[in-house]
Amino acid sequence: MKLSVRAKRMERHHKRHSKGGLNLVSLMDIFTILVFFLLVNSSTVEQLPSTKTIELPKSTSEKIPEETLLIMVNNDNLIVQGRKISDAKTIMASKSNIIQSLKKELEFQTAQRLAINPSQTDSGEVTIMGDREIPYKLLKRILYTLSESNYKDISLAVVRQTKDKAATE
């Protein structure tokens, strides 16, 4: 089949202005930067949530915190895993050593933990982030409720202090 003059001209035009190839150099640069960014930002250090209402005591602990059930307590509120359970005034006014709302939440958390891993038989692990100014009576009631709810592995969160600073104080 013979091409017309117009068809020949269009064919020449399309050959001159053909599509360019894929530039892999810039694509490789982007992926290299992405991999480097992910490597730098993926650390194994667990960090406890930062709150302005809780001032943690200072310590020279060397152990890295593990991810456990988190209880935050200050002079106003008792919070478990980010949910407010009770206020401190109600707990202090109560005659009972067991905090019923906390016990109910701990039973719920235990059920959730066992639903994920039914073969788990160990006691629950808890980290308490308590303000350094909370009354001991409040902390004692929390600890008593934890032990009654089969949470035996209890850790207290502290702010890590350098050894040089600890020696001078």
Q: Two tokens at 158?
A: 């502290």
**How much is the average pLDDT of 18-29?**
74
153: exposed, middle or buried (Cβ count in 10 Å: 0-12, 13-18, 19+): middle
CATH 3.30.420 fits 58-160, yes or no: yes
* Average pLDDT taken over every residue of the chain: 79
**Structural domain boundaries in the chain:** 5-41, 58-160
Give the pLDDT of residue 44.
Answer: 56
Half-sphere CA count of 159, side-chain side, radius 13 A = 13
Strand-pair category, 58-59 with 159-160: parallel
39: three-class secondary structure by DSSP: helix
Per-residue pLDDT of 50-76, as tens digits, reads 666 677 667 666 666 567 888 888 888
**How much is the average pLDDT of 113-129?**
75
Can you give the pTM of this predicted structure? Answer: 0.59
Lowest mean pLDDT among 3-12, 106-115, 136-145, 154-163: 154-163
160: pLDDT strictly greater than 80: no
Strand-pair category, 83-87 with 77-80: antiparallel
